[in-house]
Homo-oligomer: A and B are copies of this chain.
């Protein structure tokens, strides 16, 4: 008699994520897992990236609890976008990406941005098959976020700090913010930007081009 021991949710997720990563690599695509609080400007960041580097062939997966508001926005700008609604789920799973990819036109794409559900906690625990984990805090959330939600910042390959145009209005303390990131993540770049004024977006694009190779 043989007793099969079931795999954990996390093990299954990791296996599927690896298959997604292999699939993307075969297509010549790097995945970017975009993680942030609700309202940090994730969709505006995707739009700014596309505007500043229209030559980088981009496809997008939008993860939301409800609505397709962001997908409609991105499709309006000619970006191939696939909507996932989690119906209450607080993060995406690799299986959702694996199911989405065959339904998308990936021809010629180099970059897949996966906009995760707005949440600074749970998304960090689930590999989606990405090559880049990006955390997008905004100055409007305050300078203490890396202190209070360290796990996501620890895992980030890049931290892009959005809404720099609001710095003075909210009294953002950059040194305290950077200190919080450096407590858990000594090396990843911290790139301040404003998707409204496009300040700093060129620095982000340069980093992205280096990673895409």
Contact = CB atoms under 8 A, between A and B. Distances in A.
A109 B93 CA distance: 44
A37 interface: yes
Tally of this chain's copies: 2
Interface in A135-160: 138, 140-142, 144-145, 147-151
Interface stretch (A13-21, A46-54, A59-67): A59-67
A74 interface: no
Contacts of A149: 38, 65-66, 118
Interface stretch (A97-105, A162-170, A199-207): A162-170
Interface of A: 37-40, 64-67, 69, 88, 90, 117-122, 125, 138, 140-142, 144-145, 147-151, 163, 165-166, 169-170
